[in-house]
Structure 1
Amino acid sequence: MAFHLADDPRDQRLETRVTPEDKVMIQNAAAARGRSVSQFIVQRALQRSDFSNGEWRTLRELRGTLETLQYLAMLQVEDWKGRRQTRIRVHRR
């Protein structure tokens, strides 16, 4: 059972499911760094999430732009395939 000091601001809990192999790997990595599993996971997650809100907004906008460009490229390919099929049919007559 974990005991927390009254002034400890950590009052939120996260849970996740992992494979037995992943759990052992995480436990070993935490132990190698002299940390608890919780400390290790929180530290690694925070290191990876050092984008500001503005940066995250820009990334979301870029992802939306990329998805739009991919969709337009797909339409262009479909249009090209359709025109090519029509041309082939016309030339075969």
Structure 2
Amino acid sequence: MAKSDTHYFYVLECKDGTYYGGYTTDVARREAEHNAGIRCKYTRNRRPVRVIHSECFETRSEATKAEAAFKKLLRKDKDLYLQKNKGGDMR
């Protein structure tokens, strides 16, 4: 398995309207895994999910810090963050 030099913080919107923030090196693969019910209890019963935001980072540390910061936000602040960063990578 090749090591990726690209690290992503991504946000999913679940069927029930909730958000899930995560880290990956491959956003498309990870979205497919979530929709298949693989490796994430939170999204398993909230499928289908779709990627609504992604940001690219040079290091895993930077991406996981962005993920942790997002997860600490209140819902209204998550909405503002996503609105403000609407032009994000999105794969």
Task: Name the TM-score class by shorter chain.
Answer: under 0.3
Normalised to the residue count of structure 1, the TM-score between the two structures is 0.25
Greater radius of gyration (CA): 1
Normalised to the residue count of structure 2, the TM-score between the two structures is 0.26
Give the structure with the higher percent strand: 2
Compare relative contact order (CA 8 Å, sep 6+) and give the higher one, 1 or 2. Answer: 2
Give the structure with the higher percent helix: 1
